[in-house]
Structure 1
Amino acid sequence: MSGKRYSTATAVALICAATVLSAPGAAFASPAEPRPGTDPALEKVRQKIDRLYREAGTATDAYNAAEEKAEKQSKDIVRLARDIEKGQRKLDRLKARAGAAARAQYRGGGIPDEARLVLSDDPEAFLDGAGRLRRGQHATKSLLTEVTRTQDDLRTYAADATARWKRLEANRKAKAAAKKKIEERIAAAEKLESRLEKKERERLRELEEEAARRRQSQWVDSGAVKDLNGKASGAAKKAIAFATAQLGKPYVWGAEGPKAYDCSGLTSKAWAAAGRGIPRTSQEQWKRLPHVDIENMRPGDLIIYHKDASHVGLYVGDGRIVHAPRPGRDVTLAGAGSMEILGVVRPTG
């Protein structure tokens, strides 16, 4: 890519060229109105970059979910392979026992035990032989049943392993598609920003911060935090301590620490440090953790953002969250209302 810088007018033209990267039907909140005097062209650049990074965040959730599933499926396949190996050894032992029984009969002249028993003229030997014959028949039946059961188990294991391999391959493809989408969106956003003049890039950062402040102010003015006085539990305090200790570390998509994090990588690791395992992605955190009304929110809760649940932050109190914002930014403290809130979940139940 050329190192040449371009004006905002050129950047807006680039936006039009980059719209092919936008996912059809994606739903986003309307941005807060820019303050009077803001350069409309630069504001359009900011909105486009914001949308691209949000789409990258959605794709990151899809990537993380596919990776988590692939890891589980790989472990399941390894377990099945061990079961198959164990079952095959068992089948070999059973076949060896059946072979030994056949060889013993051959050494006895090939006359079945039933025939020898009928030909016996010793009553005592006859009764003793009858008992041994019943035991032998029972043992033979049990052996054949065990052989059949083991063969059925092996067929089941093999079919299960084949199905899991197919699902694993599907997840690998989904993961690759999500990775491609992430890289495309980030590259498009970085291209737009890199072609601005230095002063315009500085102003772009200011516009981002101003938009976040306006949303936060609107949220606070709505009375959403007026009655928030919940106290953090012991586990929540540990999660908050972990998350705030990561301040200043870079956002890297797919990262779970310790040097970098994405948004849900930070929240999942924070609660893991508190002794509570939670889902890896923000979308699964929204689906599977107990929901809490905003007016009952307390420190340690997770705030889920955007209609597609593609972002998450950990509430630390006083109307603020700690979160990993997006590529090019570091883990930071921000206003809890600075983004579109979908809802709140509580890892502690």
Structure 2
Amino acid sequence: MGWGKRSILSAAVTVVCAVTVLGAPGTAFADPSPGPSASPTPPPNKDLEKVREKLDGLYHDAAVATDAYNAAEEKAKQQSARIVVLARKIDEGQQKLARLNDQAGAAARAQYRTGGVPPTAQFLLSDDPGQVLDGAGLLLQSQRATKSLISEVSSTQEQLRAYADDAADQWKKLDAERRTKAAAKKRIQQQISAAEKLESDLEKKDKERLAELEAQAALKAQTAWLDTGILKRIHGKASAQGEKAVAFATAQLGKPYVWGAEGPKSYDCSGLTSQAWAAAGHPIPRTSQEQWKQLKHVDVKDMRPGDLVIYFDDASHVAIYVGDGAIIQAPRPGRDVTVAGAGSMPILGVVRPDA
């Protein structure tokens, strides 16, 4: 799908901008300004503003813990796969060692049948020296084969020990990552539970006002970002893979945020971006922090649809840029995958998966 200056998405954003804050709680483009005939909006309640800031902090901490959980999950998957490979190698090595031991046993039995008499003695005592010479040549070959066999047995045993040590190390790491996941999961649940309790204690009108404050804060940040004239400098055109990633993200609009989820029914922020690029045929790291660390950084003015916008100093949130100053993101628990302003949160930087 195309994402030109006046794209379908741009038109959709314009429509969203025209609705009231209460009509779209949590949407970055909602316009909190009343119409000419509407009554003035009451000034923000200081207590509710503190609640909003507290909620932002709780959900941010949950996002950080979610990234830790996802990172541990990815490492655990890699370590489990490594253990499977090592187990297969150990099994193959044991089978090879058994074959080598059988060959060594056969050589020992053959030597026993000759009585272990040295070739020189066999030559002097034999009635047919020519036959002994032939036999000596075969014996020399046998000795060399035996040395080679012993060397191969030793090498195979060393490999098996190395595989076993590696497997033991991977098991230790896997156990550590499982503990990391468990601790991160506990932190996530604590932060989300605290946020949900904080919201549940509010009356309906306060919840509505809180949603309005959230939208106002997002709109204020987006407006300040747009006022820099940044859109006049952003003219990047999506790559073929970028268009596919954007199309995938667009198809997920309305699906709920669930921490640790990577589809198809729900997503967290990096679950959405990683799956969007996987659908485009270009796998990327699973977490927002690893996406920030490993993918190519580009200047904000050079970003194009399909690029990933990384947010906050700790790279704890990520969204996919879709053009016209907009992103698609999985925001936080209690929200759905949605369109928002690219500048509605503090931008750490932009990365390009298919650079």
Aligned partner of 1:342 in structure 2 is: 348
Give the match's secondary structure for 1:342.
strand
Q: Per the alignment, do residues 223 and 117 of structure 1 end up closer, same or farther by CA in structure 2, a change over 3 Å counting?
A: farther
**Residues 286, 304 of structure 1: 8 Å contact kept:** yes
Give the match's secondary structure for 1:249.
coil
Count residues in correspondence: 315
Q: Per the alignment, do residues 113 and 330 of structure 1 end up closer, same or farther by CA in structure 2, a change over 3 Å counting?
A: farther
2:309 aligned to which of 303, 306, 309: 303
Q: Which amino acid aligns with 2:261?
A: A
1:99 aligned to which of 102, 105, 112: 105
1:168 aligned to which of 171, 174, 179: 174
Give the match's secondary structure for 1:225.
helix
Taking structure 2 as the reference length, the TM-score comes to 0.86
**Residues 105, 112 of structure 1: 8 Å contact kept:** no
1:86 aligned to which of 92, 96, 104: 92
CA RMSD of aligned residues (A): 1.4
Taking structure 1 as the reference length, the TM-score comes to 0.88
Shift of 1:103: 1.9
**Residues 119, 136 of structure 2: 8 Å contact kept:** no
What is the CA–CA distance in structure 1 between the aligned matches of 2:121 and 2:104, rounded to whole Å? 20
What is the CA–CA distance in structure 1 between the aligned matches of 2:90 and 2:132, rounded to whole Å? 44
Identity, % of aligned pairs?
A: 66
Give the match's secondary structure for 1:124.
helix
Q: Which amino acid aligns with 1:135?
A: Q
Aligned partner of 1:220 in structure 2 is: 226
Q: Which amino acid aligns with 2:222?
A: Q
What is the CA–CA distance in structure 1 between the aligned matches of 2:61 and 2:173, rounded to whole Å? 25
Aligned partner of 1:186 in structure 2 is: 192
In structure 1, stretches of 5+ residues that fail to align are 1-34
Aligned partner of 1:199 in structure 2 is: 205
After the TM superposition, which residues 206-245 of structure 1 pair with which residues of structure 2 at under 5 Å, given as runs?
206-245=212-251
Q: Per the alignment, do residues 112 and 151 of structure 1 end up closer, same or farther by CA in structure 2, a change over 3 Å counting?
A: farther
Aligned partner of 1:286 in structure 2 is: 292
Q: Deviations over 1:296-333 (max 9, x none)?
A: 11111100000000000000000000000000000000
After the TM superposition, which residues 109-148 of structure 1 pair with which residues of structure 2 at under 5 Å, given as runs?
109-111=115-117, 115-117=121-123, 119-148=125-154
Q: Which amino acid aligns with 2:53?
A: Q
Shift of 1:56: 0.3
**Residues 122, 132 of structure 2: 8 Å contact kept:** no
**Residues 119, 132 of structure 2: 8 Å contact kept:** no
Shift of 1:113: 5.7
What is the CA–CA distance in structure 1 between the aligned matches of 2:106 and 2:42, rounded to whole Å? 95
Shift of 1:109: 3.9
Q: Per the alignment, do residues 114 and 52 of structure 1 end up closer, same or farther by CA in structure 2, a change over 3 Å counting?
A: farther
**Residues 221, 345 of structure 2: 8 Å contact kept:** yes
Aligned partner of 1:71 in structure 2 is: 77
Aligned partner of 2:259 in structure 1 is: 253
Shift of 1:99: 1.0
Shift of 1:127: 2.3
In structure 2, stretches of 5+ residues that fail to align are 1-40
Q: Per the alignment, do residues 212 and 120 of structure 1 end up closer, same or farther by CA in structure 2, a change over 3 Å counting?
A: same
Aligned partner of 1:61 in structure 2 is: 67
Aligned partner of 1:177 in structure 2 is: 183
> Is residue 39 from structure 1 mapped to residue 58 from structure 2 by the alignment?
no
Give the match's secondary structure for 1:188.
helix
